[in-house]
Amino acid sequence: MARWGTPTPPNLLKGKKTDAGWTNIRNPTASYWRRWMTAEHRCIVPFTSFAESEPFPLADRKRPPVWFALDETRPLAFFAGVWTRWTSVRKLKEGEVTTDLFAILTTDANNDVKPIHKNAMPVILTTHVDIDFWMTAPLGQR
């Protein structure tokens, strides 16, 4: 078991008492994230579908989720992820805890996701080759 949300970059925690975690990593080559891009910190995160919020509020001002799947049968696939064991205060009532944390990597949105979330979507792995490559390849290779 792991909690979603790797340690938040320290510059974004100034004045905060808790670190709820950073769920999506857009730039894995950034200096802060590089330490977790090595093979020993990589993981895969299973999914059958994922959601993005409606980009514009509806008449009732809500932004319900828009669901995405590989097809209507919702087959199992995986997100490229990273994990780490970390000690921090996630919630004040819990106090300091040491927990396994994970986040998923994102990439440019494809044509299906772009109308809902124009900037990004999860990195999706659908084959054993994709999974093996993610789990073993040096950072920077595609």
Phi, psi of 2 (to 5 degrees): -145, 155
pLDDT attached to residue 138 = 82
Query: Are the C-beta atoms of 68 and 49 separated by less than 8 Å?
Result: yes
Distant-in-sequence, close-in-space partners of 115: CB < 8 Å, separation ≥ 6: 55
In tens, the pLDDT along 25-58 reads: 999 889 999 999 999 999 999 999 999 998 888 8
pTM for this structure? Answer: 0.88
pLDDT attached to residue 140 = 63
- Kindly list the averaged pLDDT for each block of 10 residues, start to end, along the chain of length 142: 91 93 91 92 97 89 94 97 95 94 96 93 96 88 57
Dig out the tokens for 68 from the structure.
């995405």
pLDDT attached to residue 29 = 86
- Cα(60)–Cα(18) distance, rounded to whole angstroms? 32
Residues β-bridged to residue 70: none
pLDDT attached to residue 1 = 81
pLDDT attached to residue 142 = 56
Distant-in-sequence, close-in-space partners of 54: CB < 8 Å, separation ≥ 6: 62, 63, 64, 65, 66, 116
pLDDT attached to residue 97 = 93
pLDDT attached to residue 58 = 86
- Cα(136)–Cα(125) distance, rounded to whole angstroms? 14
| Domains, in order of start, for the chain | 3-136 (3.90.1680.10)
